[in-house]
Structure formats: structure tokens, C-alpha cells
Chain A
Amino acid sequence: MTARSDGIDGATPRSPDAALLRIENVWKTYHSQPVLRGVDLDVAAHEVVCLIGASGSGKSTLLRCVNLLETVDDGAIYLDGTEITDVRADADRARKRIGMVFQSYNLFPHMSVLDNITLAPVRVHKTPRAAAVAQARELLERFGLADKAKEYPDRLSGGQQQRVAIVRALATRPSLMLLDEVTSALDPELVTEVLGIIRELKESGMTMVLATHEMGFARDIADTVCFLDNGVLLETGPAEQIFTEPREPRTREFLQRVLESGRI
């Protein structure tokens, strides 16, 4: 992981180095309000990066840009050396390799848990249904949801729904997982079960970028922590350094506020 400040405009290198994900000088504006202002970030394979920062600092927008749910206004994003923000590139092909989990779960309410999970493998990746079902059951088993396969999402607790959403994203065997404040909508006693899964994913070597408000968890799980402030990636470093000796006064201020609210 290297924080780079030398965002190159225009002339982008053909094949950037070892980074699995490279974000280069990304700008995004909503209604003439800049949300991301030239963000640069590299994520190596098997690395876990946590994005922290106040609400509205651009964490979610950055993740949505990586998954091409938003088009960037400037800059480029590379996945495995290929530019996915290229206007000629096939967005669906890039998304196949990226899994995303949302704050509000976004399970499909008209489908059973099993159908939610097998939809993409069967329809997008053309996995035979039987194989997709077997794989889904295996994943559900692994994450303690084996008995929920036939349930519909609204019969599950928030924690169970979010775990299903994570399984659904995993079922397409992505090489990168994006998790957008996946515990923010959960009751405190349900947060642990979801964080447990993410911890397990890290141990299995999954590359992840998380936007999170759970500072204790970020400190525990992240290889690298990035502090976003008003659309600028203000500080990047190893988790321990960011939380114990932040260089930037703004980072210190933010962590202080979080500490006072008792969420660390």
C-alpha cells in the first residue's frame, strides 16, 4: 500500500504495478458539489483497507465509483491492471469480479435466500443450477445460515439478512469485496455476527475495502486505514499508526470526536 500524491492526468500508464485495485485522481461531483476531490489509493491483493471519516466525507461514493455504480468525473480506476473506468470497457464484466455489500442489505424480497444467492452465478456466470445451489448451501453452512436457505428475506433478522447479502456477493467468487457500512443499520447485538464473517473473510485472504464507523473493528482488522475528509484522502497509514499517532490534526480531531461519542 502506498499513498500517492502524484495523480497523473491524461497520460495513464498501460499496466500499473502489483496493486489489485488502483484508484487514480478520482473526482466526483453531485449537483456541482464535489464529493471526491482527486482521490488516489492502491490496494494490494489480500489487503484489507478501511475507509473512515465523517458522514458525507465520500466513503460510500468512492466504493460506488469502484463498482461503477457511479461514473467518475475524472481520473481512472484499475482492477488487476485493466482500466475499468474506460468508457469503452464493459461495466458488467468488471462488476463480475467485484462483490459489493450495502448498508441496507438490498436483498431481493421476492426471492428466497437460496435464489438470492444463486441468481448471479446462474444468470451471469452460467454456472449449472445444481452446482450453484451446492455452492450456495456450502457458503450458508459455513456462515451458520444453513437452515435459512428457503426463507424469504423479510423473515430474517437484520444481522441474518446482512450475512446473506455477504454470502450473495461471495457466491460470484469476486477477487475484490467492497463493504459499505455494512453494520450501520444493525442493532448493536447483531453487529458482532456480521463482523465475525468479515474477520473470517480476511483470514481466507480476501481483498476488501470497507467503509466503516466501527473504529474498534477497523483498528483490529485493517492493514491500512484511510481517513477521508470532505472528499480528500487526507491520511493513509497502518491501522496502529492512524489510531495512536495520526499525523493530521483533522484526523486527530475526528478520532477525538468518535472517542467522545463512545464508539471506539
Chain B
Amino acid sequence: MTTSDANPPAWVKSARQLERERQRRRTGRRSASVAAVSTVVFLALVIGLLVSSPGWPRVRQTFFSVGQLGDAFPDVLRGFWLNVEIFLIAEPLILGLGLLVALARSLTGPVFFPIRALAVGYTDVFRGVPTILLVYLIGFGVPALNLRGVPSDPAVLGGAALVLSYGAYVAEVFRAGIDSIHPSQRAAARSLGLSHVQSLRFVVLPQAVRRVVPPLLNDFSSLQKDTALVAVLGPLEALRQAQIHSADTFNYTPFLAAALLFIALTVPLARFTDHLAARAERRRAPGGGT
């Protein structure tokens, strides 16, 4: 923040520093070659082990058939759009639900006891039940009730099950974020005359939400693959399409097609999460600005 003097000495790298940098470059080159060689050796070992196994010709035929991959891919891709759709609709709903539940748990005062208890019960139950069980229960149980106005589309019901399950996890992430804001921030807000709700809204929540973005993204890459759980209810999404194809031909390569599509979606999100986490880390580091 301070401005420097009018004539600071100019920096000419000394011979010692130049030698130091040469040495660093040499060491860096050596580490890079060691890493490359060890990677190649490792891959060669793994592939060698696979290929030399007695069942390999059979496995190659049933899992890695190029012809089958080409045949199944268009259908699996079409199904995959349904996964993407479920994901895109479920994600904002999960965020809203999670935030509401987290806020409900932070309410103080005896009046709010029922709401607090409901929020605690919800997170306990829905984090405890395996997601696939929840998909079955809601996918088959809700239509059986014969209620009017309740959708019976399995993709919608499956999506609802995902929202309920992930909402519980996301609520806990939000709550951890809210708890992580130092009490002095709340004290400062209250000392200015802000009410409990105003302090939450203007001071605590904006900081908490920023802090939990990386763990939230982590939950979302997990949600992307869990959209495949909806397959058990029968809608034609990627996994279901792959199942249909493999049932036709007794070949498992269509599943490989589905797996590749899921990877293509989750890997960029994972890298983006890493990037955000690294940026947050840099900001916390001494001297990190903005």
C-alpha cells in the first residue's frame, strides 16, 4: 500500500542467483522425466496384466466392442439428455431446499421448536436412507396413493427423490458454512442495530455461501451420476438405454458408452471445483488480495 522511494535500486540478478535458477531447472527436468517414465511403466504393467489374463479375449469382445459402441451410442446419448435435464432441474431445487432447511435449523426461540425439530428430522432421515431405496419408495409408492394432481411420470418422481436426498446433504453443507462465520461478524452486525434476520441476510449468509461453493459443487458432481438411479423406475435415460441395447445383443459395451458420457460431464465440473478451491486457498494465504 505504501509507495516506494523515488530511486529504488534496480535489480540485476547476481551470478549466485543465476546459478541457483539453473540448478532449479535441472532438478525440475529430472523430476519430469522420472514422472514420465514411471507413468509409462505403470500403464504398461496394468495393460500387460489385463491383456495376458486368460479371459481377456472374451472381455474385449463383450465390453470393448467398437461396433457395438457405434450402434448403441446414439440411443444412449439421447437417453443421456434426460439425465442432464433431471440434473439441471433438480439442482436449483436442491439448493433452495437445502438453504431453507439450514435456515430453519438456525432459528432461535421456543416458538420455532417444531420447525427446528422438523428440519433436524428431515436431515437425519433423508441422509440415512440409501438414495436408491428412496427412488424406489417415491417412484412406486407415490403413484400407488392415487392422489389427484400428483405427477406419475417416473422421471419426475425419480427427480423428486433425488431432490429430497440431496437436499438433506446440501442443508448440512449450508449449516456448516453458516457456523463457520466468526461470531464477531454477527456481534458487529447486531451492534449496528441489525436484527437477527437482517444479520443473517446481509452479513452471515453472503459470506457463508461463498465459503461453501466448492463442497456444493462436489455434491453436484455426485448428483450428476446419481441421475442414473432413476433408471430403476424405467424412464429411457442413458443407463436404461444401455441396458436395452445390451439385453438385445448380450454385449456390455453400451454400458461403456454411458460411462464415457457421465465422465465427460463430471470431469469438467471436478476441475472447475478444484480451480475454485485453489482460488479460495490463494485468497486465504498471506498477501493474497481481492
Cβ 8 A contact of B191, one of A95, A110, A152: A95
Tell me if B188 and A108 are in contact (CB < 8 A). yes
B179 → chain A closest CB, angstroms: 17
Alpha-carbon distance A115/B189, docked complex (angstroms): 13
Which of B8-16, B46-54, B130-138, B198-206 is near enough to bind chain A?
B198-206
Q: Is A124 an interface residue (CB 8 A)?
A: yes
* CB closest chain-B residue, reference A93: B193
Alpha-carbon distance A152/B59, docked complex (angstroms): 60
Per-residue interface assignment for chain A, residues 88 to 109, with 1 indicating a CB less than 8 Å from any chain B CB and 0 otherwise: 0000110110111010101111
Within 8 A of A (CB), among B200-238: 202-203, 206-207, 210
Cβ 8 A contact of B198, one of A107, A123, A156: A123
| B-chain residues with CB within 8 Å of residue A110 when the two chains form the complex | 206-207, 210
Per-residue interface assignment for chain B, residues 172 to 209, with 1 indicating a CB less than 8 Å from any chain A CB and 0 otherwise: 00000000000011011111111100100011001100
A167 → chain B closest CB, angstroms: 12
Enumerate 15 A-B pairs (CB-CB under 8 Å) in ascending A order: A69-B190, A92-B195, A93-B193, A95-B193, A106-B184, A107-B188, A108-B185, A108-B202, A108-B207, A110-B206, A123-B202, A124-B192, A154-B290, A168-B192, A169-B192
12 additional A-B residue pairs with CB within 8 Å, beyond A96-B193, A100-B191, A123-B198: A67-B191, A69-B190, A95-B192, A98-B191, A100-B188, A108-B188, A108-B189, A110-B206, A110-B207, A125-B193, A154-B290, A155-B290
Alpha-carbon distance A110/B206, docked complex (angstroms): 7
| B-chain residues with CB within 8 Å of residue A119 when the two chains form the complex | 192, 194, 202
| B-chain residues with CB within 8 Å of residue A232 when the two chains form the complex | none
B177 → chain A closest CB, angstroms: 13
* CB closest chain-A residue, reference B210: A110
Tell me if B188 and A106 are in contact (CB < 8 A). yes
Alpha-carbon distance A157/B184, docked complex (angstroms): 19
Alpha-carbon distance A169/B190, docked complex (angstroms): 12
Q: Is B1 an interface residue (CB 8 A)?
A: yes
Tell me if B198 and A102 are in contact (CB < 8 A). no
Tell me if B188 and A92 are in contact (CB < 8 A). no
The verdict on A92 contacting B289 (CB below 8 Å), with A123-B198, A124-B198, A157-B1 known, is no
Alpha-carbon distance A20/B216, docked complex (angstroms): 50
Q: Is A191 an interface residue (CB 8 A)?
A: no
Tell me if B202 and A109 are in contact (CB < 8 A). no
Number of B residues with CB within 8 Å of any CB on chain A:
20
Within 8 A of B (CB), among A155-201: 155-157, 168-169, 172
Q: Is A120 an interface residue (CB 8 A)?
A: yes
| A-chain residues with CB within 8 Å of residue B195 when the two chains form the complex | 92
Tell me if A106 and B185 are in contact (CB < 8 A). yes
| B-chain residues with CB within 8 Å of residue A154 when the two chains form the complex | 289-290
B55 → chain A closest CB, angstroms: 58
| B-chain residues with CB within 8 Å of residue A172 when the two chains form the complex | 192-193
* CB closest chain-B residue, reference A104: B184
| B-chain residues with CB within 8 Å of residue A95 when the two chains form the complex | 190-193
* CB closest chain-A residue, reference B187: A69
Tell me if A120 and B206 are in contact (CB < 8 A). no
| B-chain residues with CB within 8 Å of residue A67 when the two chains form the complex | 191
Tell me if A106 and B194 are in contact (CB < 8 A). no
| A-chain residues with CB within 8 Å of residue B187 when the two chains form the complex | 64, 69, 102, 106
Alpha-carbon distance A119/B289, docked complex (angstroms): 23
| B-chain residues with CB within 8 Å of residue A100 when the two chains form the complex | 188, 191
* CB closest chain-B residue, reference A154: B289
| A-chain residues with CB within 8 Å of residue B289 when the two chains form the complex | 154-155
B169 → chain A closest CB, angstroms: 25
Alpha-carbon distance A257/B284, docked complex (angstroms): 38
A-B complex: 8 closest residue pairs judged by Cβ atoms: A106-B188, A120-B192, A96-B193, A100-B191, A124-B193, A95-B193, A106-B184, A110-B206
Alpha-carbon distance A172/B195, docked complex (angstroms): 15
Per-residue interface assignment for chain A, residues 125 to 158, with 1 indicating a CB less than 8 Å from any chain B CB and 0 otherwise: 1000000000000000000000000001011110
B234 → chain A closest CB, angstroms: 46
A122 → chain B closest CB, angstroms: 10
| A-chain residues with CB within 8 Å of residue B184 when the two chains form the complex | 102, 104, 106
B75 → chain A closest CB, angstroms: 48
| B-chain residues with CB within 8 Å of residue A98 when the two chains form the complex | 191
* CB closest chain-A residue, reference B203: A108
Q: Among B190, B207, B210, which residue has the most Cβ atoms of chain A within 10 A? A: B190
| B-chain residues with CB within 8 Å of residue A107 when the two chains form the complex | 188
| A-chain residues with CB within 8 Å of residue B203 when the two chains form the complex | 108
Alpha-carbon distance A48/B75, docked complex (angstroms): 80
Alpha-carbon distance A85/B67, docked complex (angstroms): 81
| B-chain residues with CB within 8 Å of residue A124 when the two chains form the complex | 192-194, 198
Tell me if B188 and A120 are in contact (CB < 8 A). no
Cβ 8 A contact of B207, one of A93, A104, A109: A109
Tell me if A152 and B290 are in contact (CB < 8 A). yes
